[in-house]
């Protein structure tokens, strides 16, 4: 065990005299340090709040950019077309597979749903082409005679 005295029993006459003689100065120094710590804490808190506000603004800008990008009508048109084409590809694959009647019935129901979805999409999308548009185009090849063909356009 240690022979050290408990801190409450510790006595240093020189230190006690110094504290008594300089009590006011020590209190002022401690107050200055306390005030400085409070000011530093306030400044850091303000800086953190500014950073949080800046991050909120930047996050909102990025989120708005992503939403704008994903809700762009041209992007939606392509995503819808890809989705329908993928669904039709899976449907064709399933029709080619040897499946029991119950699965074929489910596929027919799914095809009906796809047709209804496509129909509803075309109702709300004025640019929806129900049938590919064709246009007559004159094609000439050097000195050869001119021919007219129907060409599918997008």
pLDDT of 75-109, one tens digit each? 888 888 898 889 888 878 877 888 888 888 887 89
For 76, other C-beta atoms within 10 Å of its C-beta total: 13
- The pTM assigned to this predicted structure is 0.37
Predicted local distance difference test score (pLDDT) of residue 126: 76
Whole-number Å distance between alpha carbons of 119 and 152:
21
């Amino acid at each position: 065990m240690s022979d050290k005295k408990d801190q409450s029993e510790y006595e240093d006459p020189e230190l006690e005299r110094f504290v008594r003689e300089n009590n006011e100065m020590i209190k002022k120094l401690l107050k200055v340090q306390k005030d400085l710590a409070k000011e530093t804490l306030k400044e850091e808190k303000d800086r953190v709040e500014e950073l949080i506000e800046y991050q909120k603004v930047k996050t909102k800008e990025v989120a708005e950019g992503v939403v704008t990008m994903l809700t762009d009508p041209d992007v939606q048109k392509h995503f819808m077309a890809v989705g329908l084409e993928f669904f039709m590809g899976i449907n064709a694959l399933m029709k080619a597979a040897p499946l029991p009647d119950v699965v074929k019935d489910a596929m027919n129901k799914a095809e009906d749903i796809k047709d209804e979805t496509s129909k509803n999409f075309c109702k709300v999308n004025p640019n929806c082409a129900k049938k590919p548009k064709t246009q007559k185009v004159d094609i000439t090849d050097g000195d050869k005679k001119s021919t007219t063909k129907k060409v599918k356009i997008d």
